[in-house]
Chain A
Amino acid sequence: MVWLLTAHFAAAALAPLLVRWWGRNAFLALALVPAATTGWALAQALGVVAGTPVGVRIPWAPEYHLTLAFRMDTLSLVMTLIAAGIGTLILVYCARYFTDDEPGLGRFAGVLTGFAGAMVGLVLADDLIQLYVYWELTTVFSYLLIGHYTERRDSRRAAALAINVTTLGGLAMLVGLIMLGEAAGTYLISELLADPPGGPLTTVALALVLVGALSKSAILPFSLWLPSAMQAPTPVSGYLHAAAMVKAGVYLVARLTPGFGDLAVWQYTTLAFGTVTMVAAGWKALRQNDLKLLLAYGTVSQLGFLTAVLGAGTRDAALAGLAMLCAHAVFKAPLFLVVGIIDHSTGTRDLRELSGLRRSMPAVFWTSVLALASMAGLPPMAGFAAKEAVFGAFEHSGSPVLLVALVGLVVGSVFTVGYSLRFLWGAFFDKPDVPPTPVHPPAPLFVAPALLLGLLGLVGGPASSLLDPVLAAYADTVPWNAGNDPAHLALWHGFNLPLLLSALCLAGGLALFRWRTAVAWAGARFALPDAAAVYRRIVYYIVSFATQVTGATQRGSLPIYLGTILVTLVAASALPIIQGRLWTLEAPPVRWWDTPVQFIPAAVIVAAALWALMARGRLFAVVLAGMTGYGTATLFALQGAPDLALTQFLVETVSLVVFVLVLRRLPPRFSTPVLRTRRVLNLLIGAATGLLVASMAYFALAGRRAETISGGYPAAAEEAGGHNIISVLLVDVRAWDTMGEISVLASVAAGVASLLFVRRRTRRLRAPAVPGRLSVPVSSATGSAQTDGEWSPLPLGVAENIVTVRAEAKPLWLPGVLALSQERRSIIFEVVARLLFPVILVLSVFLLVTGHSSVGGGFAGGIVAGLGLMVRYLAGGRHELYLTLGLQPGVLIGLGMTITTGTALAGAVFGTEILAGGAYDLHLPFMEPVHLTSALAFDFGVYMLVVGLIQDILYSLGSGIDEQMERERQAGRAPQSEEVTA
């Protein structure tokens, strides 16, 4: 069962490929999937009808009572046969309806196959939530299919209309389904029906479910979307809007009637809305000139009929309803297919222009006669047997409500006969003043599906007594039958009221046809308000309201948005503080300080933070922000957190340098401050929020109820062989956090680089790998660069636009400085940088290796190594930076990610789970045994990634900006910052 569904979706995914290979004949291959489903359902049929449903239950999310439950009982069997069987024929039909060069055919084939799968899933689902998922899937697929002609505005509008209306209903239904599931304590439909809940809540739930069902099945007042959905290609109309999707609502009614059919809300709603829809839509069908629209209104009318009968709640009505459902699928689908053939062969669907098709397309004509006879309820068709059963069931019920409804159904059936005749006459007969329509004859495979369905309708009538036990297996689950003996399906019941009513319908229909012009005039004269216009007005008002609300609330100002958020935060938190009279509670004892030494960094932080608010110079603000950072680091050190202190110090230093690198491009001062009132307001908001958050932090510790979860960490660290608990936490116990963190860093690197080099990255970062040899890329406009004396490389070999510097002849402390101008060089800085670099690297590796047992770790080590790079860049300029490592930052970052991910996966391969640790003691001569752990490898990955990140930042915000400034200087434009200084 699950496999068949999966096959549908797999075929849907493959469909575009198949269409590319085989053109329209790919539909024949795709048809195999629903065909297999049909075959499977038939193979199960005997057992299912005998009373043993096929089912499978896979736990999905048991804590939410969610199950992947499928169950095929008789009703599902019938629906599966309709959905998959007609789906097969429709796909075959598609293979001739379309041409190979139809635009978007691959997508169409995929969506249509996917729809067939969703429909099968819908009728097989035994779980309310799962049912809803398939329900909405059919909605989405239907949207895509109606909007197939994406370039047509009408097509797009019709698709949007359909999805708006059905999703509205679907959402109401979801609420109803959840209420039902919660009331019943189970979401399994079979269990729900076995023991249906009651009470007012159930009534509300059922009303909501009915909103969904009625909107899906295009019952008034939701019926407007179905006629406009006729914008879709005809196979879609024949499948979705006649045989399959619109039946979903009817199916849901049929599915729930055994449990709730005796409730007034269920019975009266379905009867009233169904009957009114049948009459109103039938009346409208009588005056349509477009054959497809005629069928569309006819379909709405028939759906009303089915809803009324299946919702009536008696056993006999359920039997008749299910018979009618089958008959309708078998006659309505071929009629749509016939319209498609006519449209294809003549180029029109307007019955005023068609003439003489009876002779030129005999096969199509006889197919239509069969289907129309079944629709009109003529013997010996399936439609006749079903309609007789309906009349009989309503007559025998003895309920006055059902008798009133019966009157409506008879009137509706009169209209059905009327528009059936109108279709037959309009499509095929000679019209006196219209010349015979030229016809391009359809291929046999094009007509075959429709003919097959028409013949099924013919066989279905005499065979109805054979089908009776099958359909009765469903009908018998409806308990209430008003004390009558169960009725049976048959072609001949003797002379009785139903036969009289059928004759009445036929006579009435003939009369309507005889005076068809008058009927069409009267219909147009006394038309109901146009639902589409009402819908457009509603949508217009909603959008207009939304525009006004958006315009009024979304002012587009970031400070206002943020301020609103913060004020809301403060107000929402202050409310419980005031209501709960927090100040009356016992106040925790105040502890002024941990150690008096804290005063110094705290004072520095407070002063710097407050000063930063007023600072007007950018560089000064950076220094102040940095002071808050160093102050924080000092507090960490005093607070017994050496790891934090170390990392904070290092990070703060890198940040400072990076800020300065960027700020050299920006104006030295911030622009004029905003209005004084606004500033005071911002100050108030900031102070209030800060006070709130800090007091939360203050009381949080006092309000603590549970023990810390870190009690077992020292033992875990011991087990992992590390002495530094923090480090063990990062690389072992909570290594997933670290994985996430370094992924953030990798994306930061990518983000920073792309922000700087979004135009020209590939050429920019080609650093030479040969040490001692410097390739200086020269941008194409730099012919003048060598003359303006900004930088004067020594020995030159110009090849293309690469200047190659050979440094072997004259060893330099930092070879990259060759590209710097003389006044920017500082020999002492160069010497110090060169000498310091190896020391810094050794220090960084030391921090990396000792991280597990003492203060340090991959992060700290990586940042230290990055600082080494930074020093070389600052001393030697950007070419020195390119030369230092000879590796692209991307390579380092990628290697780092690979190592960490590899270590993590190795834990799964060699150990017990992802990120499981391992250890190995390496014994080298003359040395202490080295304790190698997988955590060290993990940390090494982190180390490389951090080095790569800092290198990347230097490439981007350092040398990237260098280059931009050089280019601007060459272009004769002074950098912005200098202008502003003056």
Chain B
Amino acid sequence: MSTPSFLLVVTVAVLYSSGFYLLLQRSLMRVVFGILILGHAANLSLLLTDVAITLPPLLGGREGEMSDPLPHAMALTAIVITFGVTTFLLALAYRVWLGDENDEVPDDLEDRRISSLTEPEDSS
């Protein structure tokens, strides 16, 4: 049985915690930061699946045990996807701000309307 470096686990824990906290905010920009930080946390924890710090996965380099390339490949894809998603969300947040000069997520009006309904509506 082996465990990853405790230090890294603590780092990941802090990253996840602050990411989730930011995700719970009403300001869209902070939500985007939250997703960005969660992305870092996820990528780091992918690397935690490898046992220890070892040589980079390059052939023909120094002799010795190489680190597992699979989590690296996954994390690499994840980094790029995180970038794409945060950029898109950023544009989305900007668009919301353009609309109502405010980047806060308001409560959904439709939901509010339904909760104030006493009679079902006729949908036929």
Please determine whether chains A and B interact with each other in the same assembly. Answer: yes
State the A residues within 8 Å of B (CB). 153, 156-157, 160, 540, 543-544, 546-547, 550-552, 554-559, 562-563, 566, 586, 588-595, 598-599, 602, 605-606, 609-610, 612-613, 618, 621-622, 625, 628-629, 632, 635-636, 638-644, 647-648, 651, 654-655, 658-659, 662-663, 665-666, 670-671, 674, 682-683, 685-687, 689-691, 693-695, 697-702, 704, 708-710, 713-714, 717-718, 722-726, 729-730, 734, 737-738, 741, 744-745, 748, 751-752, 755-756, 854-855, 859, 949, 953, 956-957, 961, 964, 976
Contact of B47 among A563, A641, A855 (CB under 8 A): A641
Are B29's CB and A591's CB within 8 A? no
* A161–chain B nearest beta-carbon distance, Å: 10
| Contact indicator B87/A655 (Cβ below 8 Å) | yes
The CA-CA distance from A622 to B93 in the complex, in Å, is 15
Interface centre among A557, A700, A725 (most CB of B within 10 A): A725
The reply to whether A698 and B4 contact each other, CB–CB distance below 8 Å, is: yes
Most chain A C-beta atoms within 10 Å of own C-beta, residue among B79, B86, B93: B79
The CA of A554 and the CA of B108, in the complex, are separated in Å by: 9
Asked if A621 contacts B3 (CB within 8 A), the reply is no
Give every chain B residue within 8 A of A700 (Cβ-Cβ): 48-49
Q: A651-B80, A698-B9 are in contact. Are A609 and B14 (CB under 8 A)?
A: yes
- Out of B30, B41, B45, name the residue touching A670 (CB < 8 Å): B30
Shortest Cβ gap from B73 to chain A (Å): 4
CB pair B17–A655 under 8 Å, yes or no, is no
Contact B43 A685, beta carbon cutoff 8 Å: no
- Which B residues are in CB contact (< 8 Å) with A949? 84
CB <8 Å contact, A741 and B80? yes
Given that A628-B37, A640-B54 are known contacts, is A755 also in contact with B94, CB under 8 Å in the complex? yes
* B56 and A641 contacting across the interface, CB-CB below 8 Å: yes
Min CB distance A611 to B, Å, is 9
Q: Is the CB of A686 within 8 A of B20?
A: yes
Tell me if B92 and A598 are in contact (CB < 8 A).
no
Which residues does chain B contribute within 8 Å of A755, judged by CB atoms? 88, 91-92, 94-95
Residues on A with C-beta less than 8 A from B15 are: 605, 609, 628, 690
Pair A644/B68 contact, Cβ less than 8 Å: no
Cβ of A953 to closest chain B Cβ, rounded Å: 6
**Are B84 and A636 neighbours in the complex by a CB distance under 8 Å?**
no
Contact A670 B53 (CB under 8 A): no
- Closest Cβ of chain A to B85, distance in Å, is 7
Q: Which of B5, B40, B49, B105 contacts A598 (CB 8 A)?
A: B5
**Complex contacts, A717 vs chain B, CB 8 Å:** 59
Identify B17's interface contact among A558, A592, A686, CB under 8 A.
A686
Residues in A with CB closer than 8 Å to B13 are 690-691, 693-695
Partner of B73, one of A613, A629, A730: A730
Let me know if B84 and A602 touch, CB within 8 A.
Answer: no
A639-B50, A700-B48, A752-B87 known; 6 new pairs, CB 8 Å cut-off, are A153-B124, A555-B115, A566-B24, A612-B37, A670-B30, A686-B17
CA distance A674 to B22 in the complex (A): 13
Assess A559 versus B17: contact at CB under 8 Å? Given A599-B7, A644-B79, A744-B84.
no
| Contact of A551 with B115 in the complex, beta carbons under 8 Å | yes
Q: Which residues of chain B have C-beta atoms less than 8 A from A610's C-beta?
A: 14, 18
Q: Say yes or no: B91 contacts A751, CB within 8 Å.
A: yes
Please tell me if the beta carbons of A639 and B68 are within 8 angstroms of each other in the complex. Answer: no
- Secondary structure at the A interface, as helix, strand, loop or mixed, is helix
Is the beta-carbon distance between A724 and B12 smaller than 8 angstroms? no
- Closest partner residue, chain A, to B27 (CB atom): A670
Within the complex, what minimum Cβ distance (angstroms) separates A21 from chain B?
Answer: 35
CA distance in complex: A205, B1 (Å) = 50
Nearest B residue to A673 by beta-carbon distance? B25
Q: Which of A737, A854, A953 contacts B87 (CB 8 A)?
A: A953
CB B24 to nearest CB in A, in angstroms, measures 4
Q: Could you tell me the dominant secondary structure of chain B's interface residues?
A: helix
Neighbouring A residues of B56 by C-beta, 8 Å: 640-643, 855
Q: Which A-chain residue is minimally distant from B54 (CB atoms)?
A: A640
Report chain A residues within 8 Å CB of B5. 591-594, 598
* Also in contact, A594 and B18, with CB within 8 A (given A543-B120, A551-B114, A636-B47): no
Is B67 touching A156 in the complex (CB atoms < 8 A)?
no
* CB-contact partner of A651 in B19, B45, B83, B105, under 8 A: B83
Is B110 an interface residue, CB under 8 A from the partner?
A: yes
Kindly list chain B residues whose C-beta atoms are within 8 Å of the C-beta of A956. Answer: 91
With contact pairs A662-B94, A698-B4, A698-B9 given, residues A558 and B14 touching in the complex (Cβ less than 8 Å):
no
A556/B112 in contact, CB under 8 A: yes
Q: How far is the CB of B102 from chain A (nearest CB, A)?
A: 8
Given contacts A559-B26, A701-B51, A729-B69, contact A658 B90 (CB under 8 A): yes
Contact A726/B3 with A547-B114, A690-B13, A708-B70 known, Cβ cut-off 8 Å:
no
CA distance A730 to B56 in the complex (A): 16
Please report the C-alpha to C-alpha distance between residue A691 and residue B11 in the assembled complex, in whole angstroms: 11
Check B25 against A640 for contact (C-beta < 8 Å): no
B interface with A by C-beta (< 8 Å): 1-27, 29-30, 33, 36-37, 40-41, 43-45, 47-60, 66-70, 72-73, 75-77, 79-88, 90-95, 97-98, 101-105, 107-112, 114-117, 119-120, 123-124
> Considering only CB atoms, which chain A residue lies closest to B20 in the complex?
A686
Residue contacts A-B, CB under 8 angstroms, 16 given? A156-B124, A566-B24, A591-B4, A591-B6, A612-B18, A682-B21, A682-B24, A690-B19, A697-B4, A697-B48, A701-B3, A710-B69, A729-B70, A729-B73, A751-B88, A964-B98
Q: Of A643, A683, A690, A737, which one neighbours B72 at CB under 8 angstroms?
A: A643
Judging by beta carbons under 8 Å apart, are B11 and A606 in contact? yes
Contact yes or no, A609 B81, CB < 8 A: no
Query: In the complex, A640 Cα to B93 Cα: how many Å?
Result: 36
Q: In the complex, A730 Cα to B77 Cα: how many Å?
A: 8
B79 and A690: CB pair below 8 A?
no
Pairwise interchain contact B37-A609, C-beta atoms closer than 8 A: yes
The answer for the CA separation of A593 and B11 in the assembled complex, in Å, is: 12
Evaluate contact between B94 and A612: CB separation under 8 angstroms.
no
CA distance A551 to B103 in the complex (A): 26
Given A556-B110, A641-B56, A655-B87, residue A628 in contact with residue B40 (CB < 8 A): yes
Nearest B residue to A697 via CB reads: B45
The answer to whether A701 and B36 have CB atoms under 8 Å apart is no
Task: Look across to chain B and name the residue whose beta carbon is closest to the beta carbon of A618.
Answer: B29
Closest chain B CB from A873 CB (angstroms): 16
In the complex, chain B residues whose CB is within 8 Å of the CB of A689 = 16-17, 20
Q: Which residues of B contact A647 (CB under 8 A)?
A: 76, 79-80
The 4 closest A-B pairs by CB, nearest first: A690-B17, A556-B111, A686-B21, A551-B115
Does A690 lie within 8 Å of B18, measured CB to CB? yes
Is A726 touching B16 in the complex (CB atoms < 8 A)? no
What separation, in Å, do the CA atoms of A257 and B22 have in the docked complex?
A: 63
Of B3, B68, B86, which contacts A708 at CB under 8 A?
A: B68
Q: Is the CB of A635 within 8 A of B117?
A: no
Query: Which of B43, B44, B73, B76 has the most chain A CB atoms closer than 10 A to its own CB?
Result: B76
- Determine the chain B residues whose CB is within 8 A of the CB of A157 once the complex forms: 124
- Whether A655 lies near B36 (C-beta < 8 A) is yes
How far, in whole Å, are A640 and B68 apart by their CA atoms in the complex? 10
In Å, the complex CA distance between A151 and B33 comes to: 50
Known: A612-B37, A694-B9, A737-B77. A666 touches B29 (CB 8 A): yes
How far apart are the CA atoms of A651 and B66 in the complex, in Å? 25
B97 and chain A: residue at smallest CB distance? A666
Given the contacts A599-B7, A756-B95, A639 and B47 also touching, CB distance less than 8 Å: yes
- Quick check: A547 and B120 within 8 Å, CB to CB? yes
What is the minimal beta-carbon distance from B65 to any residue of chain A, in angstroms? 10
CA distance A745 to B79 in the complex (A): 12
Give the chain A neighbours of B108 by CB distance below 8 A: 554, 556-557
Q: Once the chains are docked, how many angstroms separate the CA of A748 from the CA of B98?
A: 19
Assembly CA distance A876 to B108 (angstroms): 42
CB-based nearest A residue for B17: A690
Structural contact, B2 and A591, CB atoms closer than 8 A:
yes
Q: Inside 8 A of B60's CB, which chain A residues have their CB?
A: 723
Please state if A741 and B6 are interface contacts (CB–CB under 8 Å).
no
List B contacts of A854 (CB < 8 A): 58
Tell me the minimal C-beta distance from B47 to chain A in angstroms: 5
